[in-house]
Amino acid sequence: MKTETGAVVLVGSREDLHIQEVSRRLTAEGVDAVVVDTLAFPDETRVSLTDDLDGIVVDGRPVGRPAAVYLRGLHASPLAYLVDAQEAMDADWRTTLTAFREKATLLNGLVSRWERLGVPLYNPVSSDWVMHKPAQLAALKAAGLPVPRTLWTNDPEAVRHFAAGGRVAYKPVNGGAATRELKAEDLTDERLGALAAAPVTFQELLPGEDIRVYVLEGEVIASLRIVTQALDFRQNEERLEPIELPAPVARNCVKACEVLGLRWTGLDLKRGQDGELKFLELNGSAMFLGFDAGGGTDVAGHFTRALARHARR
Ligand code: ADP
Ligand code: MG
Ligand code: MG
């Protein structure tokens, strides 16, 4: 196609360390890396889309149909990582939210056009629907993969019924709070009344080890054990140990990635009371720099080389 540019596009913020690292490595490999700075859009980054699928100009440069795209983040919500919309929200939340929705629609439209053009996206936007955990875990289970017994609900009675089946953890449906154990005192009318404000995830409590696995294009490229005393490992890592996954577990990780239609992912697994490793989630834009630094893995290298290969075809 005439507008094929050979560049690899990185969608995210120049302030994001993952964007910086991937950009630096691509440049070192002689690949043209173009950042579409979505955090700086629309105040600085300029984007124009015509009614041709490949009519795409970013900061004055025709981007058309790139060789590959790393989709790190759209920064299209006041709640998104690195976004600071406090002042604008305080001044006029309705106009601010409307502007974010406009931004989100344009950026989602942009990346969807690349998918439509057959550009390899890391990750495809057509997989977005399985990035919602209530769809994701059920899809994994339907494919025969081990997931913890889980209930997403705002119904107090359903929670009481679920909690009678053994130890239960609870956590947000999307994010914003840590995972905690559900205790008897959480089952009062008053406490469960909070479900009228927002639904919550209730899940079989998995007391065993935390494992993080990276899969890229059908292969496990890194696996680590996260050694911690806390129930929720984030911010509580004590040590990261690279591990060799048993072959059936590695096969399941690759299969999970395929079932969800992802080109790459960082998966969270945790061992249950029964000794089985169960899937907690597959992340569509997994962070990896901290794991590489702490566990001696090379996700950054594998990932960048995969992007670079498309540019050299
Ligand atoms: P997030 O998208 O917020 O990372 P996860 O489902 O991966 O959500 O949960 C975050 C962490 O909380 C997990 O890595 C694990 O350490 C802990 N956790 C989550 N679910 C459970 C559970 N059912 N039992 C025990 N710990 C859990
Ligand atoms: Mg997680
Ligand atoms: Mg997550």
* pLDDT tens, position by position, 157-186: 999 999 998 999 999 999 889 999 999 999
Which letter, b or e, does each residue of 211-241 get, where b requires 16 or more Cβ atoms within 10 Å of its Cβ?
bbbbbbbeebbbbbebebeebebeeebeebe
Closest residue by CA, ligand 1 atom 23: 205
Per-residue pLDDT at 165: 85
| Atom nearest to 228 CA in ligand 1 | 16
pLDDT for the residue 97: 98
Give phi and psi for 53, each to the nearest 5: -50, -40
Q: What are phi and psi of 55, to 5 degrees?
A: -80, 80
The residue whose CB lies within 8 Å of the most ligand 1 atoms, and thus the one to mutate among 131, 140, 173, 179, is 179
- pLDDT attached to residue 229: 76
User: What pLDDT is recorded for position 237?
Assistant: 59
pLDDT, position 2: 45
* pLDDT score, position 238: 77
State residue 190's pLDDT score: 97
Q: How far apart are CA 283 and CA 12, in angstroms?
A: 16
Give pLDDT, residue 19.
98
Which residues surround ligand 1 with Cβ inside 6 Å? 148, 169, 171, 175, 179, 203-206, 210, 231-234, 268, 270, 280-281
Residue nearest atom 10 in ligand 1 by C-alpha distance = 232
pLDDT (0 to 100) of residue 228 = 81
Position 242 scores a pLDDT of: 96
Residue numbers in the chain where pLDDT is lower than 50: 1-2
Can you give the pTM of this predicted structure?
0.95
Q: What is the pLDDT of residue 1?
A: 44
